[in-house]
Amino acid sequence: MLTSILSRLRPSWLPPFQTNPTPTTSQDPEAPPLDIEDEPLEIAIIGCGIIGAILSLGLLAKNIKVTVYEQARSPPETGAGIAFTANARRCMSMIDQRIVDCVAAVATTNGDPSNPNNNMHFVDGYNHDPDGLDDMTWKKLYALATGPKGFEGCHRAHFLEEVMRLFPGGVVKLGKRLDRVEDYGVGKVLLRFCDGSVGRADAGPVIGCDGIKSRVRELILGEGNPASYPHYTHKVAYRGLVPMEEATARLGHYRAHNQHMYGGPNAHVLHFPVAKQTLMNVVAFVTDPDDWPLDRSMSQLATKNEVAGAFADWGPTVRAIIDLLPVELEKWGVFDSLDYPAPTYSRGRVCIAGDAAHASSPHHGAGAGIGIEDALALTALLDMVQSRIKTPGGRKTVALQAAFAAFSAVRRERSQWLVRSSREACEIYEWNDPHCGSDMDKGYDEIKRRSHKIWHFDIGSMLRQLEVEYRRHFGA
């Protein structure tokens, strides 16, 4: 049944799912019943990063059964800094208010905690007097207001650790790396993992929240399709943590304790306080003409000398920031999905969300926030499905396919815009944009326009559009 439906719905370039014959004996422990219409809704989520975890909590809050399969054998201990806009926090509160509390538990105030600075700062980090020691007193400082708590940074792993405390036992299964998804009987999906184990999504739907190297995306779009994989943006991000006492002694209290971004030719530097203002997180982005193969780890060891060479001609403030970095640090290859975007986020009763659907470079700082919008959208849609299947003639299989098709139709345009705009924001910061060039006034205005499109998103309108699309695809 599922195979025939997918054959009618999928574009010709999509490969078929792998299928197994339906077992005919009741002794087979994997044998599903013949009809799923009377079974409760149960969702299989692949990946327990930030988006998978938040989506799971949203579904659990709707009394929808969830099983999360995570390839890591233990919760992550590493990761980059992250900040959530007011819009992202509103989405969190609509999913589960406790998630907002998790942000508050680990977030670091920008500036004075008693009088937080809700601005993103931009400044020219390149031009300077070769004989001068202070290159900032005469430069214009641009301040982009983000709204209350609009730029509170935290560590991804610390935030995720707080979120995971909210999970009931037995929901998350660790060490489960997905190998393939199979049609298995009437309206059933079988999950096969690389360790040889099997999982069964009894009501069929599978949601891939498995990140930038998503296996679910690969299965939906095909292993030979370049859109199945992220691609290198030819930018490297050097990351390091500096003790705040050292940063303050070198840069002054205000500069060290407040977020700043320094623009210049073909590179830019960002820093902001983390760990309750005990550390200053530094990220230096540099253009890289070489290739970065996908099978190479996206994180590599680097040295301070390596990054210092890229900023040797910059102003003394930026050079001082680089000099504060530890002798050994990490460099991350920046990948995204711009070059080969996914033409759809769903296929039948399988879909992808977050980075699995629309991996973005980090230059807007909004990839996770857009993923949280995805989580709210899927929570709302699957709640509609749950309500639908409780009525006579609910047609669960059709309802699930309609929900995922609606998700793709509504969420794709905005999320793909973010992927493109994030790349373009990097060009603005690095004075390569053909309109702005090195004109910081023009660059600031353009970043402000794009940022407001992210921050002032109409969540209510999205939810209404989802319902309209769901009804249209369902035929109601």
Q: Are 447 and 392 in contact (CB under 8 A)?
A: no
Classify residue 13 by burial, with Cβ atoms within 10 Å: 0-12, 13-18, 19+. exposed
What's phi and psi for 182, nearest 5 deg?
-125, 140
Burial 284-296 (b: 16+ CB within 10 A, else e): bbbebeeebeeee
Show the CA angle centred on residue 124, arms to residues 121 and 125, nearest 5°. 100
Number of neighbouring beta carbons within 10 Å of residue 70: 23
Show the CA angle centred on residue 244, arms to residues 239 and 247, nearest 5°. 75
User: Which residue(s) pair with 73 in the sheet?
Assistant: none
Per DSSP, the three-state class of 183 is strand
Annotation marks residue 239 as catalytic: yes
CA distance 188 to 184: 5
Q: Name the residue among 194, 219, 179, 159 with its Cα closest to residue 348.
A: 219
Tokens standing for 311?
């900023």
Per DSSP, the three-state class of 468 is helix
Longest pairwise C-alpha distance within the chain:
85
Residue 191 carries which side chain, given as an amino acid letter?
L
- Choice among 217, 239, 347, 388 that is catalytic: 239
Residue with tokens 């299965």: 219
Tell me the HSE value of 299 on the side-chain side, using a 13 A CA sphere: 7
Query: Distances from the Cα of 353 to the Cαs of 51, 132, 220, 244, 350, in angstroms?
Result: 8, 50, 12, 36, 10
Per DSSP, the three-state class of 328 is strand
Q: Tell me how far apart the terminal alpha carbons of the chain are, to the nearest angstrom.
A: 21
- The set of catalytic residues is 239
